[in-house]
Amino acid sequence: MNPLRLAVPFLSLALAAQAPLRTVARYRDAALGLEVVRTELVLPTGQPWPQVVAVAGVRQVFLVPPAQAGPGPRTVAVLALRVPGARTARLEGIPGAQAWDLEGGKTGDRSLLEQWARARARAWEQGAGDPSPLVAGFRAIQNRLFFGGREPGPVAPRRRDEGPSLLSLLGGRAAVQETLQLDRGLEGAPGAAAPRVSLASIPGITVAAHPWAEMLGGRQPAVPALALCVPPDRAFLYLPDPAAALDGLAGGGAAFLARVSAFGRQGTLDRDLIARALEDLGVRRSLLGAVSSAAVFLPDLNLLGGTDLTVVAELTPVAAALFGTGAPKAVATPRGEAWRAREGGRVFLSTSRAELDRALALHRAGGQGSLGASDEFKVMLTHLAPTEATRAYAYLSDPFIRRLVGPAQRIGQMRQAAARRDLEAVAAAVELRRLDAPGSPLDLPTLRKLGYLEPGLDVSGFSVQDGGVASRVWGRLDRMRPPAPPAEVEAWEAQAYEAFRANYSQYWSRYFDPIALRLEARDGAYGLDTFILPLLDQSAYRQLRQFLKPGPLPALAAAPRWARPQVATLSLPVDWAGLLGRSPVPVLRELLGALGGEAHLAFLDAAPVLQVGGGSPAGLLATQDRLAQGGLLFLAPLLLGPLTRPVALAIPVRDPAAAREGFARLAQSAALRQGLPRELEWRVHQETGQRLILSASLLGLVTLRFSLDLEDGWLVVCNDTSQTAPLVSGSAPRAASHAALSLRPCDLNLGLPAAWQAAVEGQADRAWAEQRWLSPWLASGLDVEAAKDRSRRVFGGAPLLPAADLGPGSTPRNLRYGTPWRPLLPVRKPGEDFGLFEGVREVRVDMTFEEDGLRTRVGWTAP
């Protein structure tokens, strides 16, 4: 065969790759001023999908693969918006073909514009997790402009809601969420015209208050002095030493709390709440060094959506003098204005004149009628009070929670949410037009005329300011103002609140649950304590309490002293008689009678095959939707652990003589077989000494082996018979609690690769979610930093995605993690810290059911 005949196809491909690209079709929408141009690119066999970047002449470049890709070279369509007046374009990312002649080409029809719009919509869905609110607005606008209101393609499904995680249950976060119901808004829509309803006539949640004076019993705990300036129906945050609190958090506390609070979620939106709060109050960060103590109070917890903030601070004389004297003064701030006043060395700052006046009135009245003077607050201080190590102390009172779930707050928040949706729709119109036609007018009448604004959307009082959108009533989208209590509401709003009230009242039939939280820091150790009084019966904790059957403390005041390091331990009270008392094997019943009602489960360092929680110790904390729906969430590690990795179980022996007798009888295989089905075969081998090896075989197909031994007052069971005795050496004292979880990632060795892989999977999910949040801007050609800047201007925050992590192109590839469809697994560097416990040596969670409440503590230490 002539070798030249073989070389011709390859030579023609090489020459084609060096030739300039030429426009083969074009279409211009005169009304919108958008011109789509198309060229074709031939990709040789095996060439990866290029990441094309427009350098000049065109914008928003997207590649469309052929409908049917057969063997051999592929012809790919390249679609882009032409820059008005440009004759040539330059692209990067296409090997050997960067020049594009924009002149010529046939005039196509509107389908060319639709094809480009579909490609752009696909780019908006890049990544994983929930997208930016702009994506929904962009899609709606594009459907109106290009598809007659039709949806051109399927929308990626949203993640379903998850049940509580083991960390949120044992750490108390689930109880706080249940009490506040922050994620349960009002549901309803305007109906037929009906008379308006007076807000005062709408009943709130009718639940009795505790007999606080009787519960206090004359005790007089120490009350923080600044609490005497706080109204009783406001959320209260006390900072004994603000500078130390910020320094301590910067040293490791804040990073871990942020990772834990976002655990199970995707992506992190950095809003820098402290910087925003200081801006809203009109003060500089340098002032914090002159503050000896501070109290912060809020009318609600809508920190991200927009709320009022009031601070009462004790300042040094020099710093206090800067605020002058006399009547309260207003200062201009990015949100509008803030108010300030001074009484001696005490400075009052607020975003609301009314809130400032309340704090001043309480101060001048010596605290009479304040939160600090209430019996309720004093009762809670007897359960959980600030200490010398306290960095922050928060309290949510009975009156505050009543107000939070009352009609004024809930209806106001519903109105604010509706205003936010309208502002987001306007922001989507502004941003999409900015990307479609840079430099074109962005006023609302023009956007309405072009079709970027929905015809029925009421934009009266809306405006475009400094690149963002704002409402005359609600302020800027990135810094919305809180709702003002209405005197009257619509009938449908009253009905929506009544439905919420009826559902809420099913859970709270006796009392509200005041909540106290305390953050401590001492010598690199941190602790977050939560106390809730009382714990409601109808909650996720009901099944947990039924399973644990907690008794009076000290229920778990001692724990086994493990002879070698353990990656994770879980300690629970267990009713062995109730759990296994109906065993058909009599000898098991006899042995159980000699044991204490506890279970201490230890996960040994190992490389699991079937990985619980992805193989990471943090998997013990992860949310398990299907298990949570069946009420078995907290059982997952217990049930799956022995099947996945080496696990040791230690049970205290309360009757040593009976335990030895039962242990001796257990060594008799005949006694063990009694009452068991024929399909399950047990064998018992006794090693030198008293250790037993139990083999359980199901149908001869699956075999599990366990070692049993009596070690220093403990019955120790292990599913890894290669572990040498002793596993336990006596007992170790510990803080009394009803459930305890301890994680020591620093002791990982054999299980380190699996933990690294699990951590990388979680980090990749977050990175892709952050990329998806920025996708409306990335798909239009903006780089990461420019996209983050636009996100901050529109929403007041931006993801933490590093700019160096993304490659070029309208659908960029994460250079570290790849894409959800072709993920990468980066190699761990020796000694590299990673995952949820980055910068943390040990995490410990303790939970206690008290007679009148729930107490939890999450503690962690830095290396």
Rounded CA-CA distance 520/391 in Å is 5
Rounded-to-integer distance, Cα 838 and Cα 485, Å: 44
pLDDT (tens digit per residue) in 721-779:
888 888 999 988 877 788 888 888 777 777 777 777 777 887 888 888 888 889 889 88
Amino acid sitting at position 265: R
What is the pLDDT averaged over residues 61-67? 84
Total number of residues shown for the chain:
863
Q: Which pLDDT score, from 0 to 100, does residue 249 have?
A: 54
Kind and range of the H or E run holding 671: helix 669-673
Residue 175 burial by Cβ neighbours in a 10 Å radius (0-12, 13-18, 19+): buried
Q: Token pair of 87, please?
A: 């004759």
Please report the pLDDT score of residue 556 as a whole number. Answer: 57
**511-560 pLDDT per residue, tens:** 667 889 999 988 878 888 988 875 555 456 666 666 666 666 555 568 89
376-393 as b/e, with b when 16 or more CB fall inside 10 Å? bbbbbbebbbbeebbbbb
What is the 8-class DSSP label of residue 253?
I
Contacts 24+ apart (CB under 8 A), 256-259: 256/526, 256/837, 256/839, 256/840, 256/860, 257/528, 259/836, 259/838
Q: Where are the alpha helices (DSSP H) in 748-807?
A: 752-778, 784-795
**β-strand partners of 308:** none
Sign of CA dihedral 619, 620, 625, 630: positive
pLDDT in tens, 26-48: 999 999 999 999 998 887 776 77
Q: How far is CA 608 from CA 447, 637, 647, 764, in A?
A: 58, 13, 11, 21
CA atoms within a 13 Å half-sphere pointing along the CA-CB vector of 688: 2
Q: Is the peptide bond before 534 cis (omega within 30 degrees of 0)?
A: yes
Please tell me the distance from the alpha carbon of residue 277 to that of residue 282, in angstroms, as a whole number: 9
Whether 81 contacts 58, CB under 8 Å: yes
Using an 8 Å Cβ cutoff, are 92 and 55 in contact? yes
CA distance linking residue 147 with residue 151, whole number of Å: 7
The secondary structure of 293-337, three-state, reads EEEEEECCCCCCCCCCCEEEEEECHHHHHCCCCCCCEEEEECCEE
**Statement: residue 9 has pLDDT above 50:** no
Q: Burial level of 217, CB count in 10 A (0-12/13-18/19+)?
A: exposed
pLDDT tens sequence across 559-617: 899 988 888 888 888 777 666 655 555 556 677 778 888 889 888 877 654 444 444 44
pLDDT tens-place string over residues 775-793: 889 888 888 999 999 998 8
pLDDT above 80: residue 207:
no
d(CA 327, CA 382): 38
Range among 369-378, 501-510, 716-725 with highest mean pLDDT value = 369-378
Token representation of residue 235 = 């959320």
- More confident position, 506 or 629: 506
Residue 81 forms beta bridges with which residues? 36, 59
pLDDT at 342 over 60: yes
Dump pLDDT digits (tens) for 640-669.
556 667 889 999 998 888 888 887 777 765
- Reported pTM: 0.81
pLDDT digits (tens, 9 = 90+) for 316-327: 988 888 888 888
Give the H/E segment covering residue 711.
Answer: strand 702-711
| Percent of residues, the chain, with pLDDT higher than 70 | 76
* Neighbour count for residue 80 (Cβ, 10 Å): 27
Question: Using a CB cutoff of 8 Å and minimum separation of 24, what contacts does 333-341 make?
Answer: 333/279, 333/280, 333/281, 333/282, 334/279, 334/280, 334/479, 335/279, 335/280, 335/475, 335/476, 335/479, 335/481, 336/475, 336/481, 338/280, 338/281, 338/282, 340/281, 340/282
pLDDT given at position 397: 93
DSSP state of 209: P
Cα distances (Å, whole numbers) of residue 228 to 45, 52, 154, 307: 76, 63, 56, 22
Say which residue the tokens 């724990």 belong to.
559
pLDDT at 120: 92
Q: How many CB atoms lie within 10 A of CB 736?
A: 15
Strand partners, 296: 237, 311
Residues 6 or more apart from 457 whose CB is under 8 A from it? Answer: 422, 425, 426
- The per-residue pLDDT of the chain, averaged, comes to 79
Per-residue pLDDT averaged across 234-238, rounded? 94
Average pLDDT over residues 162-174: 56
Return the residue matching tokens 């962005």.
442
